[in-house]
């Protein structure tokens, strides 16, 4: 045999072998792990795989298709991947990642795949919902015009939130962001709002504390906790908020009102960046992938209020974002500010000086909530922001001058009382009626002669007197949304009696 013939036979043998091999594996449905590392597997094959499809591996572990390239597929793995090796076979499942939904999730703690992690047994739900769903159409929505009471005076009066709104809670670390969200959940007791607290990349110990608090204040029974802790692989952290939203959407489509807290989306952005850098997608600004805006906008667009034909349910979203040294113009904060309908900015200087909750009324805004604010709250809190703005301006000004005229002194003393009234302890959300009375009396100047350190004692005495002797005042506010002239006189009388005995009152220092 000549050399050429020899080569031809050899190449024929190789070709036959290759044909036999490709015939054996259906590369459309099945793939083989080429490389693996840090929760990411690169797969050869799986030609039919779709973006977001669930891929199953031999040993009962799963992953989600994230990258589809010409000759390989990038899969993000959920859970431990130590048992997956190079050369392992994986298969398409023809399903997208889904979570169980339904009432048996209430009062449970689940992971990003909806599996229980509270040790209270399995969740028997037969209904599932994909974690990624398109947002409701514009024509299926209606205007935000019902209030969602947070029970926090400073928010309900100045930055009101409506059902179906997306309101960002933003501030530096340790400024009471989580506290506001948890108080809002506690305040939904008896108000027919289902709450979901989605913890993203936090410590498990903080979650345990939150679960304890919710239990203590009887709020766990209408709450679901979705937890993807910092210790979990980044794909789990990444899908957690989508999973929480799917769980909420089930109730929204049944016509119920849902409140979702995403605590926090800065850590979500970091998890996404980690995952996509490992998948070798090209980094953009601050090394975040180019679609970082889109992942948050498609998440938050799913919160809305449906119209009557679609049941009238709603999802109100409270995403949380952490800033560095109060910089709200950084990349992720500005992205999320432009997606949401307003923000509650928490000021660390205010927080550290004891003004808690540290809501900065100048930088906080609610773009749709004012049409949802109750009529009575709108009336009593009309000039509140203006008074605070005046106060802050005068405060800066008074640092320069020594002699202050009477009107400046008046603005300063009124502002100080106002800020004192807006201080509120954690886990003590107030009813609408109590908030209205507190704001009403301070706005009327009825507390202006009270020393600042006695303001909370006066408020406490006032509310206990009204509840014990004149409960109709609160009832009138809650039911008819009004304070009649008679009630106003009554409130003034109570205040003057309290003021007459002011020196007998002990100071309550709020903090």
**In whole angstroms, how close is the CB of 198 to ligand ATP at the nearest point?**
14
Question: Please, what is the end-to-end C-alpha distance for the chain in angstroms?
Answer: 98
CB of 181 to ligand ATP, least distance (A): 8
CB contact at 8 A, 68 and 225: no
65: DSSP letter: E
Asked if 177 touches ligand ATP (CB under 6 A), the answer is yes
Coil, strand, or helix at residue 304? Answer: coil
Residue of 141, 298, 367, 385 marked active site: 367
Determine if 357 is a binding residue for ligand ATP (CB under 6 A).
yes
In the bound state with ligand ATP, the residue whose beta carbon lies nearer, of 132 and 156, is 156
Show the site string, 162-191: x = touches Mg ion by CB under 5 A, - = not. ----------------x-------------
Look up 367 and say whether it is catalytic. Answer: yes
Task: Examine residue 352 and tell whether it contacts ligand ATP (CB under 6 A).
Answer: no
The residue with tokens 């660390």 is: 348
Q: Report if residue 456 touches ligand ATP, rule: CB under 6 A.
A: no
Measured from the Cβ of residue 20, the count of other Cβ atoms closer than 10 Å reads: 9
Answer yes or no whether residue 324 interacts with ligand ATP by CB under 6 A: no
235 φ/ψ angles, rounded to the nearest 5 degrees: -60, -35
How many residues make contact with Mg ion (CB under 5 A)?
1
Instruction: Give DSSP secondary structure letters for 91-102.
Output: EEEEEE-EEE-S
251 close to 313: Cβ distance less than 8 angstroms: yes
Structure tokens at 76: 């993000």
Structure tokens at 115: 């599996």
Output 305 or 356, the one with its CB closest to ligand ATP: 356
For residue 290, give every residue at least 6 positions away whose Cβ sits within 8 Å of its Cβ, in sequence order, or none: 281, 282, 284
Q: Give 143 or 173: the residue with its C-beta nearer to ligand ATP.
A: 173
Enter the tokens of residue 334. 């500005």
425 binds, among ligand ATP, Mg ion, none (CB under 5 to 8 A by kind): ligand ATP
Considering only residues 143, 173, 203, 475, which one is a binding residue for ligand ATP as defined by CB under 6 A?
A: 173
The CB-of-271 to Mg ion minimum distance in angstroms stands at: 16
Instruction: Name the minimum Å distance from CB 267 to Mg ion.
Output: 10
Closest-CA residue to 413 (of 380, 387, 375): 387
Burial of 133 from C-beta contacts in 10 A (0-12 / 13-18 / 19+): middle
Q: Give the range of 38-46, 67-75, 172-180, 441-449 binding ligand ATP by CB under 6 A.
A: 172-180
Query: Of the listed pieces 128-136, 170-178, 303-311, 497-505, which binds ligand ATP according to CB under 6 A?
Result: 170-178
| Binding positions for ligand ATP, rule: CB under 6 A | 171, 173-179, 322, 356-357, 424-426, 511
């Amino acid at each position: 045999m000549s050399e050429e013939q020899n080569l031809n036979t050899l190449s024929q043998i190789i070709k036959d072998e290759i044909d036999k091999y490709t015939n054996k594996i259906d590369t459309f449905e099945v793939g083989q792990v080429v490389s693996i590392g840090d929760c990411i597997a690169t797969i050869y094959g799986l030609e039919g795989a779709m973006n977001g499809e669930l891929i199953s591996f031999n040993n009962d572990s799963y992953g989600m298709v994230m990258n589809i390239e010409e000759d390989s597929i990038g899969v993000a793995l959920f859970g431990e991947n130590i048992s997956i090796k190079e050369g392992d076979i994986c298969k398409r499942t023809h399903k997208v990642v889904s979570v169980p939904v339904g009432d048996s999730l209430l009062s449970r703690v689940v992971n990003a795949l909806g599996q229980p992690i509270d040790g209270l047994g399995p969740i028997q739900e037969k209904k599932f919902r994909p974690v990624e769903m398109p947002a409701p159409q514009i024509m299926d929505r209606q205007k935000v015009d019902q209030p969602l009471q947070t029970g926090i005076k400073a928010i309900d009066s100045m930055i009101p939130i409506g059902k179906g709104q997306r309101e960002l809670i933003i501030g530096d670390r340790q400024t009471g962001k989580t506290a506001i969200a948890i108080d809002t959940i506690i305040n939904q007791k008896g108000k027919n709002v289902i709450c979901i607290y989605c913890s993203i990349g936090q410590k498990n110990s903080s979650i345990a504390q939150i679960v304890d608090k919710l239990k203590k204040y009887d709020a766990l029974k209408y709450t679901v906790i979705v937890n993807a802790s910092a210790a979990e692989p980044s794909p789990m952290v990444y899908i957690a908020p989508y999973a929480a939203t799917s769980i909420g959407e089930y109730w929204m489509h049944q016509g119920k009102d849902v409140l979702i807290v995403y605590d926090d989306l800065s850590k979500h952005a970091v998890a996404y960046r980690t995952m996509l850098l490992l998948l070798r997608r090209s980094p953009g600004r601050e090394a975040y992938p180019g679609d970082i805006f889109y992942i948050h906008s498609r998440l938050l667009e799913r919160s809305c209020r449906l119209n009557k034909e679609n049941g009238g349910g709603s999802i109100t979203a409270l995403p949380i974002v952490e800033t560095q040294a109060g910089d709200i113009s950084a990349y992720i904060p500005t992205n999320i500010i432009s997606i949401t309908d307003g923000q509650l900015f928490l000021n660390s200087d205010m927080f550290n000086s004891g003004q808690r909750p540290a809501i900065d009324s100048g930088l906080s805004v609610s773009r749709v909530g004012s049409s949802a604010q109750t009529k009575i709250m709108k009336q009593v809190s009309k000039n509140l922001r203006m008074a605070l703005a005046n106060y802050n301006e005068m405060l800066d000004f008074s640092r320069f001058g020594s002699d202050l005229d009477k009107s400046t002194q008046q603005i300063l003393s009124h502002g100080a009382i106002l800020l004192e009234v807006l201080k509120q302890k954690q886990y003590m959300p107030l009813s609408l009626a109590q908030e209205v009375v507190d704001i009403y009396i301070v706005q009327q100047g009825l507390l202006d002669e009270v020393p600042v350190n006695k303001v909370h004692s006066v408020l406490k005495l006032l509310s206990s007197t009204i509840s014990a002797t004149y409960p109709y005042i609160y009832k009138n506010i809650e039911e008819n949304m009004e304070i009649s002239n008679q009630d106003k006189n009554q409130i003034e009388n109570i205040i003057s009696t309290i003021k007459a005995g002011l020196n007998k009152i002990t100071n309550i220092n709020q903090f």
